[in-house]
Amino acid sequence: KCRFFPNYMGNLEIYTSQSYLHTSSSVSAKQHYKMLVLGGGSGGIAMSARMKRMMGAENVAVVEPSEMHYYQPIWTLVGAGAKTAASSGRSTASVMPSGVKWVKSKVEEINPDTNTVRTDDGTEISYEYLIVALGLQLHYERIKGLPDGFEHPKIGSNYSIQTVEKTWNALQNFKGGNAVFSFPNTPVKCAGAPQKIMYLSDSYLRKTGKRSKAKIIYNTSLPVLFGVKKYADSLWEIVKQRDLQVNLRQNLIEVRADKQEAVFENLDKPGETTVIEYEMLHVTPPMGPSLAIKGGPLADEVGWLDVDRDTLQHKRYPNVFGIGDCTNLPTVRTAAAVAAQSAILNRTISKTLKKEKPDKKYDGYTSCPLVTSYNTVILAEFDYNLQPLETFPINQAKERRLMYHMKADLMPHLYWHGLLRGLWGGPGPYRKLLHLGMK
């Protein structure tokens, strides 16, 4: 028999005929899980679903502070008025695998030497295995005049839920003048997105009869329009046909929103700046590593999670794994990359639990559906070496209506009901989709 009653501190004391146990509040604040997942974005939710099947829901926890989960690839279309912002989000509770513990906190510190994580409310969580899926950090503040500049009209950004509808407002209210689009001098997620909104804006202005009054300018810090030559060649043709002005090696350093001026630095001639007046400005912010990783023992010299490019296992801590935007994998950061990585990582963890050597390698597969109008997409798929790694037996560098419908209508469905449930993904997720369609 056991007898339960509170002691003078309000803590529970349990008496039995053979033992005496005391559970204090400080001890109860500690938690332990066989698999701890940091981050409830695409990679974190997908892997927590897979880990639930591998080791049981009671052994898995996800640390994620946000109440809402967003399908961010659709924000390109939200910024152009083709989709609603509301359609991009669902509650985190609705996408969290049932039975898996959701820790509604922010990761403050990771200590892989003691196998512990500390959250912003002081809770310490210990683990046997750790998956880091913390995404990356947006740094609007690194552009002088932002983020305060978003309080003014005619400026938006498709990279956050707070600013994506401002892009659509700026586009709708455009009367004439310069429509300016930027690409920062940092790694970014979905490297095609900064120019997708340019093509969509061009289409919208043509449709509404305002194109003749507009000068469309794309200023990118990169030395190329797109990293994969096959697709870049097609994009340059579109740029020429639609009279779009592309300026390479130009980095946005300041926004004077009250004057509607954007200041760009010439990266090939440091200190040389150009001021452009705008009637519409789309800002792609500088981005960087998660602050919970940067400077810690799991980071590389720049601050990204230091994982093996083949297996996604950490280079120094074999019980730590990574997926998605937070890693230093040398590929473009996209949801399609996460889908491909999730199957490889699942295999790596399975082998690690069995004390076996991982036998599947991630080839760097990623995909970027380059939206070029309200009904066309160039489907870019490629690997670590920036070589095309295509799904369909057609020339994917050509604009196609079918690819647009796949991007706009089919992929969101597969995201919510496939990837996040750990049921869809693998090397070349479009290829897997094609095979499923042929069965």
What are the tens digits of pLDDT across the range 61-98? Answer: 999 999 999 999 999 999 999 999 999 999 999 999 99
Is-same-fold flag (31-136+289-369+410-435; 140-287)? yes
pLDDT, averaged across the chain: 91
Enzyme catalytic residues: 190, 368
For 149-180, write each residue's pLDDT tens digit.
999 999 999 999 999 999 999 999 999 999 99
The runs of H, that is alpha helices, within 188-228 are 193-207
- Cβ–Cβ < 8 Å for 324, 40: no
pLDDT range class, residue 423, cuts 50, 70, 90: confident
pLDDT digits (tens, 9 = 90+) for 311-339: 999 999 999 999 999 999 999 999 999 99
Over 90: is that where the pLDDT of 29 sits? Answer: no
Going by their DSSP bridges, the two strands 68-70 and 89-91 should be labelled as antiparallel
Q: Is the pLDDT reported for residue 254 higher than 60?
A: yes
**Is 184 in contact with 67 (CB distance < 8 Å)?**
no
- pLDDT at position 433 is 52
Q: Which of 17-26, 211-220, 252-261, 423-432 has the lowest mean pLDDT?
A: 17-26
Span 113-125, pLDDT tens digits: 999 999 999 999 9
CATH, domain range 140-287: 3.50.50.60
pLDDT band of 430, cuts 50, 70, 90: low
Q: What is the mean pLDDT of residues 94-106?
A: 98
Handedness of CA 394, 400, 403, 407 (dihedral sign): positive
Q: Which sequence spans correspond to the domains of the chain?
A: 31-136+289-369+410-435, 140-287
Question: Is residue 402's pLDDT more than 90?
Answer: yes
> Could you name the CATH architecture of 31-136+289-369+410-435?
3-Layer(bba) Sandwich (3.50)
Does the pLDDT at position 250 exceed 60? yes
Mean pLDDT, residues 95-118: 98
Share of the chain above pLDDT 70, in %: 90
Residue 427: C-alpha distances to residues 105, 132, 137, 432 (Å) = 32, 20, 26, 8
Tokens 């935007």 locate to 325
Predicted pLDDT at 86: 97
If pLDDT is split at 50, 70 and 90, which confidence band does 363 have? very high
pTM of the model: 0.91
Collect all residues with Cβ–Cβ distance below 8 Å to 178 and sequence separation of at least 6: 214, 215, 216, 217, 276, 277, 278, 279, 280
Mean pLDDT of 233-244: 98
